[in-house]
Amino acid sequence: MSCTNELLFLAINRASFLKPRDKLLLAEVIPSVSVFLKISGADVGRCLGRMVHAAKWEPENFLKFAEYDRKYLTKANIKYTFYSEEKYPAPLREIYDPPLVLYYRGNDFKCEQPLVAVVGTRRPTGEASMRAYGLGVELSASHVGVVSGLAKGIDTAVHSGCVSIGGYGIAVMGNGIDMVYPGSSKATAFKLLDNGGTLTSEYPPGEPPHKYHFPERNRIISGLARAVVVVQAPKKSGALITADFALEQGRELYVHKVGLKHICGEGTAALHGEGAVAIDSAYAVIKDLKGQEPMRKVHEKKIKITGNETKDRLGHELADLLELEINDKVSVFNGEYYWSE
């Protein structure tokens, strides 16, 4: 892709009042930056087949921002990919309104492996938070990537579980790629990057986390994944928007049983009542996706290695488990050992 087209697409993406499909259409019909600068708001309206606010169409300003974006992103080692490029995540091309541009930090998108989105409320119960963490561990141990939104609550919990055993995760943000929001999620975001994960956004540098961005970005969370799990969601949770997108996009939809127990899970219960499969671990999801047995426990009983308990256990058993853990054959979560292979 030429530098001219890069600038053109970055400039079109700066027209924030346009819908994602509008940007894709303009990118398809406008051949160059020079033509882009000559197009009027009325021309844009005719191209899109609808009226647009002519005063909002400022091609010269959009191009200036695009030039700044390219310099800044290069200096900050932040990457970007366009809809027409090979690096662009293939699952996103399937959805109705894919983003023209995806900015991202960290590794290129690893869409060759199955990806599962896990979402839920920002104010989960303690049990729901623990279950979300467990899903992150279980999915990662079975070599399934984890997608979420890096928000407080369920999103951060599942990403934390994922990075705890070195799994691959994608965090889709509702703000510019140059910042992590909320600030409380920074530590998890950096661990995700350290593990070879990816932070991504359709919003250019400097774009604040506007309230309306989060419902928009939810289509990307579900669009990247082959399945979506809603852990716990109240009636008006943004996670329910992700669930709606998942159904529209033909993704498998699951709810966690922990979300059926509490008033915080009224939205989860409604999804279950409408046909979403209820699960209590990642087992069913992984089996549906991969057609094989997911990770399994080494022992049915809990094995906790603490100073007080080791003398009550068989020394050979502990030594074998520790050797397996050191060699990355097993993973530990909540005091239980799981096969990683």
| Rg over CA atoms, the chain | 22
pLDDT at 299: 44
For residue 198, which of 154, 248, 163 has the smallest C-alpha distance? Answer: 163
CATH topology (fold) of 115-290: Rossmann fold (3.40.50)
Task: Please tell me the distance from the alpha carbon of residue 88 to that of residue 96, in angstroms, as a whole number.
Answer: 15
The two beta strands, 79-82 and 101-106, are antiparallel
pLDDT tens column, 19-48:
999 999 999 999 999 999 999 999 999 999
Per-residue three-class SS string for 145-159: EEEECCCCCHHHHHH
Please return the burial class of 12, using the count of CB atoms within 10 Å of its CB with bins 0-12, 13-18 and 19+: buried
Q: Where are the domains of the chain?
A: 3-75, 115-290, 298-341
**Contact assessment for residue 259 and residue 128, using Cβ atoms and an 8 Å cutoff:** yes
For residue 200, which of 182, 224, 184, 183 has the smallest C-alpha distance? Answer: 224
* DSSP H helix total and E strand total for the chain: 14, 11
pLDDT at 1: 40
Axis-axis angle for helices 20-29, 41-48 (nearest 10) = 100
Task: Please tell me the distance from the alpha carbon of residue 318 to that of residue 324, in angstroms, as a whole number.
Answer: 10
pLDDT at 212: 93
pLDDT at 328: 58
pLDDT at 4: 53
pLDDT at 290: 78
Residues of the chain where predicted confidence (pLDDT) is lower than 70: 1-4, 292-341
pLDDT at 293: 57
